[in-house]
Every structure is written in structure tokens, then in C-alpha cells.
Structure 1
Amino acid sequence: MARILICLVALAALALALALADPATQAKATQAKATQAKATPAPATTTPAPATTTPAPATTTSAPATAGATGRRVTPKKILMQGLPFATSHHMVLAKIGRELVARGHEVHFVRSSVDSDRVDTTGLNVHTLQLNSTKEHYAAHVLEIADDEPLEGALKILREKAAICERIAEEPKLLELMKTMDVALVDPAYLCSVIYSYAMNIPIRVDISPVNFYGTSSWVGVFCSCALLLLDDTGLIRPVPYSILTTHMITHTSPTMLDPFMSAPYEIPQPWATVPQMGTKFTPDMTFGQRLFNSISWAVQYWARHGFLEDLIHDLNERFRPGVKLYDSFQNASFVLFPTSPAFDFPRQLPPNCKMIGPILPEPAAFPFAQDPKLSDIVANAKNGIVLVSFGTLARLKPEQAQALADAVATLKQTVIWKYNGEAPRVGKNTILSKWIPQNDLLGHPNTKLFIAHGGANGILEAAYHGVPILGYPLFGDQWDNVARAVWRGMAISVDKDTATTESLVADLDLLLNNPTYQYNAKLVSSVIRDTPRTPVEQAADWIEYAIKYEGAHFLKMPSYSHPWYINQGWDVGCFWLALAATLVGGLLWTLRALFRCVVGLVSGDKRKRD
């Protein structure tokens, strides 16, 4: 009994300590950090490789306050966008929003690198190109190794290429001076350099736009592996980790195990373990007890890594740009966080007032015939049994045996198969057409398209959802399993295991998707809900950006949970207090009953001795 009472007292003391923790103190600390003097990074002392920043001529000029599409009057501002290097889909999202802002009279400056694709439409934007030593071909070759190598091994190879990019910005005084003149920063949270520089250059208003879901390992164990390997050099010796390598690694490969698609943790978006799967788990909201337990462990690991391990590793370089401010705290300076997805497709969840799901940015009504490929227009129009579209994006690659199994499976179909293929082509059937390029959005939107076979990249998945096309998901790496899981949960897709899929299993999946009307019905329902909005996603994005401009950041929309520790936001301090109180009362009651029992037993024994 004594041991039980000691444990109860210890539990009560812990609960009391949590209950008495003053959140106001932490709020003041956070506010003090956010208002400290911000240091401007000096150019690096090392001699940089030959590089130039080449802004395109501005196509717009400042103008008096004008009314946007919503009638809101705002003064045109100078807006900065920084695209994640070699992430074409990210650039396409940002550029489309930028073009809408230019149409509303704003001056938009887009910073990209010399290894980025030229296919992004930057009409009307002032483009500034950061020259890098690497070529596009060399950079692309390293990216492709991620899919073939072990996850961490492949990531570390490309990270050595990406590491220099964040440092290169500090070596460009003209670019730094340009940033200082900006009124608004549109930040891609997948590119932490843009978060740091928007703060260091004192840009007054920041709006975060999360273009796509982020990459992640297949389980939370990958976080431990990532942390361990990041500390090792090629010889296996422990070494300091450069900030740029660390942050790029975490975002391009391991982040979703630590940050879900909405980067919930930095923005204090609720993450109930029972209904919000952590990225990389491949779970849906309908989790078993074991899955919920695994999900909670995944959350705990990412919390430790973010607040402990990561902050310690990036401390030195973070101090160089923003003395006294932690990386985690900097996320809370965003006025708005815009997510280009829809509750019709994504998992349901709670969102704070300054976090908005605006719908998919890139999908739009299809155009037909295809202006760039008249021959393809004829093929689609004359496909009597419909079209099956196959695309694995720009970077994803099937292994030769995987590609051949898929080619043999689609060869059995009566539909015409249009396959955007990169690399060495497999042997295909007479019904299959291989192409290096396809107008994917327009093909998905054509009424003849019956099925989309894809790797599960976020943009492709959202385009299929927008146009109501069922999906055979063939995830290969990164966030693709989780993207496909959402389509499966909505009843519009089947997911394939790349390691066990055979021609026979693929044929069975294709038959089910093409001949079971349930998949087509669910896909059309998702499409209908996504489209049922009075304003397009890009218009909504521009509306919220102008809202932030009009109300000088609209910081009144931020949740007070920003300044509270996790155990207060989760209610653990109160829960532990009541648990400890209940345990104390039960323990006291048991002690009292035990004492009464001993007293009664003593009295009975005494009476018996007297009688004897």
C-alpha cells in the first residue's frame, strides 16, 4: 500500500506541475523572439561560382488602389515568390497564382534557379534566375536515383546538389536588396530558405502556399534512420550537418513522416491520432486500435525530431540569419496558409481560421481539340471503346520488369491506351500508343477517358479527381502511397503493390475499375463537389492574399494555441490533474477502508481474546 501511495503522490505532483505551467510566459517568449531585431545575412566570404541574377523586364507598374474581383480595394504591392529548385509542379502552382495577382495590378517577382524547367508559364512575372554550377541534366540524373536507391542513400546524393542553393542566395547582394523592397512574400513551406529569407529581409506580410503534398518515408522508423545517417559522412564519421542539407533533406524526403500534408504541426493544425493519419503511415481515417497506436508513435517521433533534434542541428546557421528565433516559431508568422486541395478528396479535418483549403490550383476545364497535337486529337475522338491514360509524371520510373507487366496487362484491354513514357520503352500491344508528352489535363477531361493509371503524384491525382476519372494507383516512392490512399478511401481508386503486382493481378484490377460502375460514380461525385464553388481556386488564393494585404497580415485570425505547449493544447495537463485527483481519492478511500478493516479485525480479535 505504501508503494501505491508514493506513486499516487508522484502522479499528483506531475499533474500539479503541468496545471501550474503558465502559458502566458511561453506566449511572451514567443512574442519576444518574433519581435527581436532581425539580422540581414552578409554575403558569403567564399568566392562563389560565376552566377548572375537576370530579372526579366517588368510588365506591370504600380497603380492606384483598385478593386479586385471581389470588390475589395487594395493598394498594389510588390510580391515575392521563391520556387523550390527543380520542383516544376511547385513552380506551376505559384506562377498561376502570380499571373492572377498581376492581372489585379500587383508587381510579382519570381525567383527561380537555372536548373528549373522552362515549361512554367511566367507571363507577366518579373523572373530572377539564380545561376548554379549544376546543369539540368546533371541535376535530373541525381533526382532519378531516389526511386532506384534505398530512400536515404538516394536522398543524400541529391541533397549534395541542393545544399549549395540555399547558400547561393546569401552570395547575391542584388537579390538580397530586391527582397528588402518587397511588401509581401508568398512562401512555399517546402522550401525553408524562402521562410528564412522572408523573415531576414523584413518582408511585412507572408502567405504560405503549400503547392503539393510532401515526400515521406514509408514509416516513422525512417525518421530515426534519417537522423542517424545525416550525422555521418561518407566514411561513417560524425560530422556537423550544414543547415541547407538538413532542411532540404527533411522536406524533400522525410518531412511527411514528421509533417502531414498540411504541415499541421508548425501551423498548430489539430492532429487527432484517431482520425488524422501521419504522412508515411499509408493509413486512412478508419484506423484500427493498432494503427491508431502506430499513428501516435509517429506523431511523437516527429515532435521530438522537430523540437529537439532539428533545432539543435540548425542552430548555428539559423542564428546567422535570425538570431534568437527558432525555425518552428518562424512558421507561426504566416498570415495565411493556403492548401490547394479539397475536403471532397482529402481526409476530413479541423482547420484554424487562417488555414484555407482552396481547391486544386492546376486542374481546369479541358480544351479539345489539342492545339499542340492534332494527331492525338483524332486518336481520342475516334476511340470507340474509350481511352485509358497512363502517366508516371516527369521523374518517376518503373523498373523494366514492372513496365513490361503493366504493358502486357493493358494490351488485353479493348480501350485505346495512351502512355506517356520516359526512359526505355517496353514491348506494347497494338492498342497502346507511347508518347514523350501528353496534354494530361485535357486528356483527363475528355469524356472518352475511362481510367487513369498513375504513380500517385499529388497534381496528377488531383487532376483525375477534378475531372472524375477512376484511378489505378501504382505508387513508387515518397508521398505517393498516401495520395493514392485518399483516392481509395473515396472509392474511386485501387492501389497496386509495386513489389508484388503481376500481369494477372493488374488485369483483374483493370477489369474491376472499368466494369464496376461504383468507381465511376464515386469519381464523378468527387469531381462534382470539387467544382461546386462560386470562385476558382486561383481566385480564392488571390482573394486571401489581398485580404492579408488589406488587414496588414490579418494576424487576428491566428489560433492562441501558437503560444501554448503541446500538453496544454491536447488538454493533457487538465486530464492528468483530474486523473491524479481521482487516483488520490480512490487511493485515500482504499487506505481508509483498509484502516477500518484493520480496526474492525482488531476489535473482533480483542473481544475473542477477552472471552477466552
Structure 2
Amino acid sequence: MSTTASIFLALICFLLPPSTSCGGSKILVVPVDGSHWINMKIILEELHSRGHQITVLRSAKSWYIPSNSSIYTSINVPMLEDEADRDFYITMIQDVMYRRSYPNFIRTFYQQYLLTSALGDGHMILAKSAGKILEDVVLMKRLWDTKFDLVLTDPALPVGVILGGYLKLPMVYNVRWINTGEGHLTIAPSPVSYVPISGSELHDQMDFQERIKNMLHYLYSVYEQYFIINPAYTDLFQKYFPPGTDLVSLELSADIWLFRADFVFEFPRPTMPNMVYIGGFQCKEAQPLPDELEAFMKSSGEHGVVIMSLGTLVSALPHGITEDIAAAFAELPQKVIWRFDGEKPSTLGKNTKLVKWLPQKDLLGHPKTKVFIAHGGTNGMYEAIYHGVPVLGLPLLFDQFDNLLRLKVRGAARVVEVRSLTKDNFLEALKDILENPSYHKNSQRLSKLHRDRPMSAMDTAIFWIEYVIRNKGAAHLRSTAFSLPWYSYFCLDVAVFLLAITGTSIWGFIFVCRLLCCRKSTKKAKAE
């Protein structure tokens, strides 16, 4: 290389700003299995591409998390999945479908009760799993000696929170759900007058009766947290953590909450400095379809295609329901691609293609796609928003009812109760979305708003993860409210003090008045 070229390169290096990259950092990841892993894996792939060394703790019986990977090293540990059974979810879905016949005010409480009945045993198992991890001397020495820079975890299951707190490492959450509801309800002020509680199936414009219902859901969630969930971890915290530590205080010690939400989808509400919104970060532009699927899409002509996927829980639908759905599809001029694994419906039409798996993101981004029929999972909802596709919702469990309500309120979805689904009402709802242009218009508007941001959701997530690594935490973003006792947080001590001062002043004023009146009466009596 010539001297001139060397001087030129040196000058360029001098003028360029110093790199803020922290590639090569060691990150400990404690994920949640199932659909949550899909989100986590996308972040891990990006972190790996930037040179970070990733270690993933997984269950030996994990459903989705492979033990061998080119992007991370895995360590098998005892997790909830070791004792979990997929049939549990199927049974719960069937129970929820049966109870959906109850009046609206009652059924949401029953659904919350179903979750409560599972929470106690579930958190006992999780506490036991966390205890086994902390008792494993060899494993803990390996984790200590590795000198991780960060714990990245999904706090929907708190094993990662407990481990990060024990190792005293900076923590970042990839979060939507935590304990009894959305993470928002744990970290940010949530006035029940306009912030709907998870599972309430309410929007942000509530009348008096709805606010009563919302308050009752809030009180029930407080009961769940402090009387069902927290006691499961009492022995664990007494053995391994400083006095006064409980699950909520440990969760609130996280540095950054990467919240899988966007206010295009969520109702506006108060937030906190260390809460970062990355809703839809998994969404990407559609890629070319396999030749067979592409040919099927093109064969739909001007009518287009309907996409249907209920995730991995489609087997929970009664056989009669799938027969009605297939019969309704058969009457459409559109083609249908239906993710289906089970006995082929006898009413299936020639326009319907059954597949055991489908490239959902790529299909939703295809110009021929007209409607997405889904159960309301968060990933699917954000993919529909990203690509501007209206949704026909068939909610089954958990947050799916609330998710679809949010799209319905914004005019981008219709919802059909699975329990009361018939061929006629399903077909009517589907034709309404296909023929009413307002659904497509509203979906396109949401897509435009969702994409209009200064920085992609993925880049935002990676920036804040690396921010915590570079600065060895982000304690300056955590509110001091978390360290206040509840009576100080709500200023009840101040209220009692002011009431005492006011009461004392009033009592003193009355006492003085009575004393003066008595003296005046005494003088008058003596004069007479």
C-alpha cells in the first residue's frame, strides 16, 4: 500500500466517530418456550450477527428450542416444560368455549378464575425449577465463571428473573406478559378508569358499569399476585436472597423492558422511561412463496385468497365447527389456504387447500391475500397490521379476546365466538370483511402508522440491549416509585397526616368557640 493511501485511511479512521458497538459480549438468555421462543430467536439471530456470544438455558424436553444451534450454546436445566402437558391447554380451551355462553360480565371473571386455578400449581413448579438450578453447584459455578454481561429473559415465566437477580447481572426483558397480566400493569401507572385490565375484554372508553368490572378485575389480579403467586416463592427467596425480596421487587429491578407492543395496536396509557416499545419487530417484507403456493395464489384471479391459521391449537376445535367452517369456505369465490392438522372435513370445497404448515408472514404480504382468519395471537396480529390485512377473529384463550377487541375497535377486524359459530354466521362475517372496503382501508391505515417510525423495532431492541451492556445497566431510568411502600406511593400517610391536622384544627376551633360561649353565658348569668 502506498504512503498516500495509508495517510488517507488513517485520516478516515480519525474522522469517523468512535464505534459504540459492544460485539463479543456474553449474554445469558432464559427464554419461554412455544410462540414466545419465536420472538426471542429473532432477537438472538440479530445479536449473533453482531458478534455477541449467546448462552441459552433450555429444558431438556423443550417443544421448540433446539439444543444444537449455530447462533448459541445451550445448557439443559429443569424447566416448567418438563412437567407441562399440551393437553392442559386443549382442556382449558374447551372449558373456556363452554363458559362463553355466560353473560359478558361474568364470563371474563370465570376465565380469570381458570387461570388462577392453574397459577398456584404452575408457580410452585417454577419455584421448584428455580431452586434446582440454584442448588446445582456445577451449573452455578459455570455461570459465575463465564462472567456474563447481561441476562435477556422473557418474564412470562420468572425463572430467568430469579437467576438474573441471583447472579446480580443487568437484566433486559423481552416482554409482553408477566405473572397476572401485561407487563404494563406491573411497571407503569395504570388508572383503572381508562386502562383495561388484562382479560377484562374492555376498551379505553368505559361506562360506569364497565369501570366497576375493570376495578373488580384489578382487585382480583392483586389477590392473585400477593396471595397465590408470591407465596410460591417465599422459601426460595428466604434461602437465596436478602430479606424483603419478593417476586415483584425482583421483576421491577430489570434495567430495560422491551415491550412487544405498539400504540397503533394498544390503547394509549402512561409509560415509564425504561419501557421501550418493539411491537411487530419480528415482521419483515414478504419473501417469494414456494412455486406450488405461488401458483395457487395466482389461480385465485381477481377474487384473491383467504388465509386461515389457528396456530398449534386447532385440534381444540370441535369436529362440527371445522365442518361448518369448511362448508362456508366452499361457498366463497375466493381461494382458501387453511393451516389444518387433523381429520379432513367432509364439507371441504375444491377452492380450499389444507396445509400442515404455511409461511404466514409471506402469505400475509402477498397482494392476493384479502382476509386473515386467526385466533388472535400477538404475533399474528402484528403481522396482519404490518401487511395491512383485515382479520376475522376466532379467539380461543388467554389474551386472544383482548387482542382481537383492539383491532375490532379500530375497524380492522370482526370477531366470531367459536362456541356459537355456525356456517351462516361465519360466512356472513367473512363476506362482510371481503365486501366492505372499510376493513381494508382501516387495516392499510394501521399498517402505514405502524411503519412510520424513526427507527425499526428490531434496531430499537438491539440498541437498548447493547446500551445496557455498554453502561453496565440502566439504573438511572428506573423510577424510585418501586422502592416506596404502598402507603407512601399512594400518599396515604400524607392524607392521614393532613386529615389529622385538619381534624385537630376543627376540633380546636370548636373547643375555643364553646369555651368562649360558655364564658359569655357565665358572665351574663352573673350580671342578672
1:521 maps to: 441
Report the Cα distance in structure 1 between the residues aligned to 2:364 and 2:28, rounded to whole angstroms: 33
Is residue 2:27 matched to residue 1:79?
Answer: yes
Q: Secondary structure at the match of 1:498?
A: coil
Aligned residues: 479
Asked if 2 retains the 8 angstrom alpha-carbon contact of 1:145 and 1:154, the reply is no
Percent of residue pairs identical: 32
Report the Cα distance in structure 1 between the residues aligned to 2:360 and 2:174, rounded to whole angstroms: 23
Asked if 2 retains the 8 angstrom alpha-carbon contact of 1:139 and 1:158, the reply is no
After TM superposition, give the deviation of residue 485 of structure 1 in Å. 1.2
Is residue 2:374 matched to residue 1:435?
Answer: no
Is residue 2:115 matched to residue 1:196?
Answer: no
Is residue 2:406 matched to residue 1:486?
Answer: yes
1:140 maps to: 86
Is residue 2:139 matched to residue 1:175?
Answer: yes
User: What is the aligned counterpart of 1:111 among 28, 46, 57?
Assistant: 57
1:16 maps to: none
Q: Secondary structure at the match of 1:194?
A: helix
- Please identify, of 138-147 and 401-410, the stretch whose mean Cα deviation from structure 2 is larger: 138-147
Change (3 A) 1:492 1:574: farther
Asked if 1 retains the 8 angstrom alpha-carbon contact of 2:149 and 2:472, the reply is no
Is residue 2:413 matched to residue 1:413?
Answer: no
Q: For residues 52-71 of structure 1, what are the structure 2 equivalents within 5 Å?
A: 71=19
User: What is the aligned counterpart of 1:379 among 296, 307, 311?
Assistant: 296
Asked if 2 retains the 8 angstrom alpha-carbon contact of 1:100 and 1:539, the reply is no
Where structure 2 has 5 or more consecutive residues not aligned to the other structure, the ranges are 1-15, 97-113
Deviations 1:459-505 (A, max 9, x none): 11111111111111111111111111111122211122222232222
Report the Cα distance in structure 2 between the residues aligned to 1:402 and 1:477, rounded to whole angstroms: 17
Is residue 2:45 matched to residue 1:126?
Answer: no
Asked if 1 retains the 8 angstrom alpha-carbon contact of 2:23 and 2:50, the reply is no
After TM superposition, give the deviation of residue 454 of structure 1 in Å. 0.8
After TM superposition, give the deviation of residue 114 of structure 1 in Å. 2.8
Between Structure 1 and Structure 2, the one with more helix by share is 2
1:558 maps to: 478
Is residue 2:332 matched to residue 1:399?
Answer: no
Q: Which amino acid aligns with 1:81?
A: V
Is residue 2:335 matched to residue 1:335?
Answer: no
Change (3 A) 1:536 1:406: same
User: What is the aligned counterpart of 2:457 among 537, 554, 568?
Assistant: 537
Change (3 A) 1:459 1:584: farther
Q: Which amino acid aligns with 1:128?
A: I
2:170 maps to: 205
Q: For residues 200-599 of structure 1, what are the structure 2 equivalents within 5 Å?
A: 200-202=166-168, 204-210=169-175, 213-214=176-177, 255=179, 258-259=180-181, 261-265=182-186, 267=187, 269-324=188-243, 325-368=245-288, 370=289, 373-384=290-301, 385-396=303-314, 397-426=316-345, 427-570=347-490
After TM superposition, give the deviation of residue 451 of structure 1 in Å. 0.5
Asked if 2 retains the 8 angstrom alpha-carbon contact of 1:95 and 1:122, the reply is no
Q: Which amino acid aligns with 1:209?
A: N
Report the Cα distance in structure 2 between the residues aligned to 1:161 and 1:139, rounded to whole angstroms: 16
After TM superposition, give the deviation of residue 410 of structure 1 in Å. 2.4
After TM superposition, give the deviation of residue 132 of structure 1 in Å. 8.2
After TM superposition, give the deviation of residue 323 of structure 1 in Å. 4.0
Q: Secondary structure at the match of 2:472?
A: coil
After TM superposition, give the deviation of residue 306 of structure 1 in Å. 2.2
Asked if 1 retains the 8 angstrom alpha-carbon contact of 2:80 and 2:129, the reply is no
Asked if 2 retains the 8 angstrom alpha-carbon contact of 1:383 and 1:416, the reply is yes
Asked if 2 retains the 8 angstrom alpha-carbon contact of 1:70 and 1:543, the reply is no
- The TM-score normalised by the length of structure 1 is 0.70
Q: Which amino acid aligns with 1:548?
A: V
Report the Cα distance in structure 2 between the residues aligned to 1:329 and 1:447, rounded to whole angstroms: 48
Greater RCO, 1 or 2 (C-alpha within 8 Å, sep 6+): 1
1:54 maps to: none
After TM superposition, give the deviation of residue 586 of structure 1 in Å. 9.1
Where structure 1 has 5 or more consecutive residues not aligned to the other structure, the ranges are 1-67, 215-250
Asked if 2 retains the 8 angstrom alpha-carbon contact of 1:335 and 1:555, the reply is yes
Report the Cα distance in structure 1 between the residues aligned to 2:351 and 2:120, rounded to whole angstroms: 39
